[in-house]
Amino acid sequence: MITAPSVAQLSSRFEEAFGTAPDGVWQAPGRVNLIGEHTDYNEGFVLPFAIDKTARVAIRVRRDSTVRMLSTYGDHGLVETDIATLEPLTAKGWTKYPLGVVWALKQRGIDVPGLDLLLDSDVPLGAGLSSSHAIECAVILALNELTDAGLAAEQMVLATQHAENAFVGAPTGIMDQSASLRGAKGHAVFLDCRDQGVQLVPFEAEEAGLVLLVIDTKVSHSHADGGYASRRESCELGAQVLGVPALRDVGVEMLEEASGLLDDVTFRRVRHVVTENDRVLQTVELLSSDGPQYIGALLDASHVSMRDDFEISCQELDVAVEASRSSGAIGARMTGGGFGGSAIALTPARLEQQVRDAVVIAFADAGFTTPDIFTVTPADGARRLA
């Protein structure tokens, strides 16, 4: 296992690369989503949490408008550009995330100076754990402070969404950055995506004798590809035909009527979102009343809905879910935007090894790449480290 460099190590690497010490070091976590998938851009409900895998940026403000960026990923080397020349959809690799934030802040009239930036991250790339938002959130937290912009968390959420949508070109919602900026240890973030209202819901699996396993299928995905955007379009079409501002406004009891008004594909997309919103509310209620050992059936139903109605799963995710369930997990589902990435499996702690083994064997039998399997617990959101 690779251990993240300490703040002192990161600072000294910064100094080696750029010749001066950084102004500070900021950190933001990736996330898993417990439940509530593709509901965020429908103004619905989500229940993600920040994880203890984070992106860290060391930054020093410059006197000119040059941005120099380096990462410990070992790729690309030093990338240098000028703030004045930033154009949406042109940046490459990981640099589009910090540059997207700089661009989005400039669009808001914030005078962002040139920067030297060193990135380090242990959020696995392309694993559906929001490595890109972790970078964006660390950078926006830093720039908010360094420019005295005074943005509240809700405004930082919208600015990073603008960066993703317009600069990176991924039409994503607000779930990931909300979890990264507003997460808290021991809690899931119950977010109302219509007004950004947050309620922190205790999620302490260990106390109930459970662990939450993440199974990274190693099938990498990009939400700038067509699948995510086409799901979003179907949802918007559904809302338009049903005459509501967003699918958030469609209740489960309205689905029968909706089936007569929508074509088959649009209806199934709508049914996923409507039932998923309902599952989020039920999960929050169960976590608050009975505890995590009772939410397994909702996780399972969420996966079936994404597999059959929203059609965003893939064979590897289905095998991960089925192998975990049949070897002892009490509920499992894919997490994140889909088309690859990770699944989560809520598992009795005493059966953890059995489930891990069963998943690895099922992947080998199917001829898939060996997955990465690890446990996660809810961690604190973004903060300044030094």
Active-site residue set? 176
- Whether 262 contacts 231, CB under 8 Å: no
Interface pattern 308-347 for ligand GLA (x via CB under 6 A): ----------------------------xx----------
Residue from 81, 95, 160, 172 touching ligand GLA (CB under 6 A): that is: 172
Instruction: Please report whether residue 40 would count as binding ligand GLA according to CB under 6 A.
Output: yes
Q: How many CB atoms lie within 10 A of CB 335?
A: 29
What is the distance between the alpha carbons of residues 101 and 89, in angstroms, rounded to a whole number?
13
Shortest CB 233 distance to ligand GLA, Å: 14
Instruction: Please report whether residue 171 would count as binding ligand GLA according to CB under 6 A.
Output: no
Minimal CB distance to ligand GLA: which residue? Answer: 337
DSSP secondary structure letters along 56-111: EEEEEE-SSSEEEEEETT--S--EEEEGGG--TT---GGGHHHHHHHHHHHHTT--
Instruction: Please report whether residue 114 would count as binding ligand GLA according to CB under 6 A.
Output: no
Residue from 11, 26, 37, 358 touching ligand GLA (CB under 6 A): that is: 37
AA letter at 47: L
Say which residue the tokens 């600015």 belong to: 159
Tokens of 334: 């894919």
Instruction: Please report whether residue 181 would count as binding ligand GLA according to CB under 6 A.
Output: no
Piece of the chain touching ligand GLA by CB under 6 A; list 85-93, 167-175, 348-356, 372-380: 167-175
Question: By C-beta, is 176 or 216 nearer to ligand GLA?
Answer: 176
Shortest CB 40 distance to ligand GLA, Å: 5
Q: How many CB atoms lie within 10 A of CB 275?
A: 16
Question: In angstroms, what CA-CA distances link 103 with 107, 119, 338?
Answer: 6, 18, 27
Piece of the chain touching ligand GLA by CB under 6 A; list 96-104, 173-181, 298-306, 356-364: 173-181
The CA dihedral of 250, 252, 256, 257, to the nearest 10 degrees, is -20
Instruction: Please report whether residue 248 would count as binding ligand GLA according to CB under 6 A.
Output: no
Buried b (16+ CB within 10 A) or exposed e, 259-272: eeebeeebbbbbbb
Piece of the chain touching ligand GLA by CB under 6 A; list 21-29, 95-103, 171-179, 239-247: 171-179
Residue 210: helix, strand or coil by DSSP? strand
Question: By C-beta, is 118 or 129 nearer to ligand GLA?
Answer: 129
Residue from 173, 292, 296, 378 touching ligand GLA (CB under 6 A): that is: 173
Instruction: Please report whether residue 231 would count as binding ligand GLA according to CB under 6 A.
Output: no
AA letter at 385: L
Instruction: Please report whether residue 300 would count as binding ligand GLA according to CB under 6 A.
Output: no
Number of chain residues interacting with ligand GLA (CB under 6 A):
12
Tokens of 282: 């039920």
Q: Where are the alpha helices (DSSP H) in the chain?
A: 7-18, 96-107, 131-146, 153-162, 175-182, 226-242, 255-261, 264-289, 296-304, 315-326, 352-366
Shortest CB 380 distance to ligand GLA, Å: 20
Instruction: Please report whether residue 176 would count as binding ligand GLA according to CB under 6 A.
Output: yes
Tokens of 163: 């960066």
Instruction: Please report whether residue 122 would count as binding ligand GLA according to CB under 6 A.
Output: no
Question: By C-beta, is 46 or 118 nearer to ligand GLA?
Answer: 46
Question: By C-beta, is 133 or 356 nearer to ligand GLA?
Answer: 133
Instruction: Please report whether residue 124 would count as binding ligand GLA according to CB under 6 A.
Output: no
By the criterion CB under 6 A, which residues form the site for ligand GLA?
Answer: 37-38, 40-41, 130, 172-173, 175-176, 223, 336-337
